[in-house]
Structure 1
Amino acid sequence: MDLQLEELQSLSAADVLRESVAVPRAAPRTFAALTLTLVFPFSFAVLAHSLFTHPLLLHLRHNPSSAAADWILLLLYLFLYLLFLFTFSLLSTAAVVFTVASLYAAKPVSFASSLSAVRPIFPRLFRTFLWVALLMLVYNLALVLALLPLLLAPSSPLVIILIALVLLVFLAAHVYISALWHLASVVSVLEPLCGLAAMAKSRDLLRGRVRMAAVLVVAYLTACGLVGIIFRAVVVKGPREEGSLGVTSVSTKVLIGGALVAVLVVVNLVGLLVQSVFYYVCKSYHHQQIDKSALYDHLGEYLGEYVPLKSSIQLENL
């Protein structure tokens, strides 16, 4: 990283983005290999899964009494998609966060070392993910319970206003949970914490930086959403479907689809880099630092390297 930790405190969201984009220049081959092997499959799955599920959904919508096999096939597609998606999401996070931290600690990086570190990091990230998944389950239940009475009530201007307010509140909560999850993922890699403890640490780090986190998360979700909408309208939907842009040429769809996948790959890679840099921004804001020698040893533990007897990463006031 080009900036020192104490210099990160005054960065704006735009500065964080610029600093994140500059990180791969320190190890271009490593990041290129990680992008092709981990970030690309994840991004491709996000868009391409609708090519399989969309025809099934159309068939089930026009034939509500379809055989149970069609429903089972749809559920199987969705299960495999979610399994693949979350697996590569965690793998990408582990590899990118480890590589960025290695650069910060002046530790040699390579594609092989980053992949080797993924295996011991993955269980820690998975435990954190399970707690976030539980939190999202509670969030969705609360959203349903809050909206259901309003949707069942007679339509009126007051009811419409209340629905809009509820959606606005829960949208803000969704952005906060997303920021909490991404920061907790970095904590799970760089500190001896995972699961609920990593989420609690992430919550503490977010204090005072919630607005910046919200800007970064909203920008990331907006970019992903726009790419997904364009992909479904141009590539997935047929020319006669409502909302389609009427692109019929297969070669044109392939070219546009490939370009959109490439855009999403860049968006996801930058998002992973941003969450890594944002962790240091939060640490700097709270006047905390990471001992680079301790971080060096901590990262070496993932690779099975010999580590002298010394304390793990500790948070110390400057």
Structure 2
Amino acid sequence: MDARQEEMKFLGLFGIYREGCKTILWRRKIFAHITIALILPMCFFFLAQIVASEILYENSTIRKGKIMDGTNPAESLKYRLPNLSSSEFKIYLLFKALSIIYLLIVSLLSTSASVYTVAGIYTNRKVTFKNSMNAFTKVWKKLLVTFYCTCVAYVAYNVVSLIGFIGWGMFMNTSIKLRQAIGVAGMGAFMVMYLVGLVYMGIVWQLADVVAVLEDVGGFQAMKKSRELIKGKMLMAILIFFNFNIMVLIVEFVFRRMFVHGMYTGKMERIGYGIICLMLLTMLSLFGRVVETIFYFVCKSCHHESIDMSTLSDDHLEFHLLAFLEYRKFTGDQYVPLKDK
């Protein structure tokens, strides 16, 4: 690897964020197309299905017992249970299933387009919106297989964890002294390990999507490659994962509280909050995909690996990338190497 490629592994978290912002601003036209065509509709539907789900679920519930006069409406929710035999609840389940399918398709499409675009920018290749969209036709199978394999891994992990939880409870019931000695602390440690495992799987999944687009692997192989790449950069991967997901959760919380439930707001204010949440979620989704792609390149540099995106070669999309990317900053219309040590 040359000196410029070696410098990339020294990029820190803020260096990656800075490059993500510069990348989007420098090629704002193509990213605007991706955002308007894919990410904005995806985010709009995500928020819209929250509203629809609230309405459908509310209509499909039955009250448990009687609510006395003067009961706080917010507290009355605990008296509601889903009416599994109602037609409204069946519509709710069907709507949720269709929502998941739609969001999955658009998410995979926006991921492939964003990753392809960033790769083209940082390898000095001509990238158009049409090429970015066409990239999906070459990588959708790998992305879908990777998603399915991740779901299988999550299910297996939760089943094993549930068995371990039940076994732990049975073991604790055999000895009162042991239960007193370990008690809540032992259960707390078990839950912490469980959550750590979930976070780790989420980090691997995010990078595996980028691997599936830029390398000729998919499924469990993409997940394995992702695990290998984040070695040595685990702390940075954790920070990127938490920063993104916490921001998304905050936006979703504000949307539910201020728009869906309309806490302390009128109709116009609710619409304003809804628009703000939609814009924030859209920007976060685009920025997250760009940052994850740049982080992939940083990991490749850290492991002294070059990039060979044969799935996006001249034979497929007139996009043959064999040279490693160069981090650059803006000086007029040109890029120059960027150092961040």
Return the index of the structure with the highest Cα Rg. Answer: 2
Among candidates 211, 215, 235, match of residue 211 of structure 1: 235
Report the RMSD for the aligned CA atoms in angstroms. 2.8
Counterparts of 1:132-211 in structure 2, within 5 Å, are 132-147=150-165, 159-211=183-235
* CA distances 1:266-316 after superposition (whole Å, capped 9, x unpaired): 1111110111001111111112222xxx5488343442x497xxxx9699x
Q: Does 1:230 find its partner at 2:262? A: no
Alpha-carbon separation, structure 2, partners of 1:230 and 1:160: 33
Question: Contact 1:35–1:265 (CA<8 Å) still a contact in 2?
Answer: yes
Aligned equivalents of 1:264 and 1:184: distance in 2?
Answer: 22
Given candidates 274, 279, 282, the residue that maps to 1:262 is 279
Aligned to 2:290: 273
**Alpha carbons of structure 1 residues 132 and 314: separation in structure 2 relative to 1, 3 Å:** farther
Residues 70 and 160 of structure 1, relative CA distance in 2, 3 Å threshold: farther
User: Once the two structures are superposed, what CA deviation does each residue of 1:229-261 show, in whole Å capped at 9, x if it has no partner?
Assistant: 1111111125xxxxxx332x2221111011011
Contact 2:34–2:113, Cα closer than 8 Å, also in 1:
yes
Structure 2 equivalent of residue 94 of structure 1: 112
Distance 1:267 1:306, change over 3 A: closer
CA shift, 1:46, in A, is 2.5
**CA 1:50–1:18 in 2, change beyond 3 Å: closer, same or farther?**
same
SS at match of 2:124: coil
C-alpha deviation, 1:57, in angstroms:
2.2
Q: Relative to 1, partners in 2 of residues 1:92 and 1:301: Cα closer, same or farther, differing over 3 Å?
A: farther
Q: Please report the TM-score for the alignment, with normalisation by the length of structure 1.
A: 0.84
- How far did 1:114 drift? 0.9
5+ residue gaps, structure 2, are: 64-80, 174-178, 325-341
How far residue 209 of structure 1 moved from its aligned partner, in angstroms, is 1.0
Name structure 1 gaps, 5 residues minimum.
Answer: 239-244
After TM superposition, the score normalised by the length of structure 2 is: 0.79
C-alpha distance in structure 2 between counterparts of 1:178 and 1:313, whole Å: 29
Alignment of 1:128 with 2:146, yes or no, is yes
Aligned to 2:54: 54
1:112–1:131 Cα change, 3 Å? same
Question: What code does the residue aligned with 2:232 have?
Answer: G
Count the aligned residue pairs.
298
- DSSP 3-state at the match of 2:232: coil
Given that 2:312 and 2:319 are in contact with CA atoms closer than 8 Å, whether structure 1 keeps it comes out as no
Question: Using the alignment, how far apart are the partners of 1:157 and 1:212 within structure 2?
Answer: 37
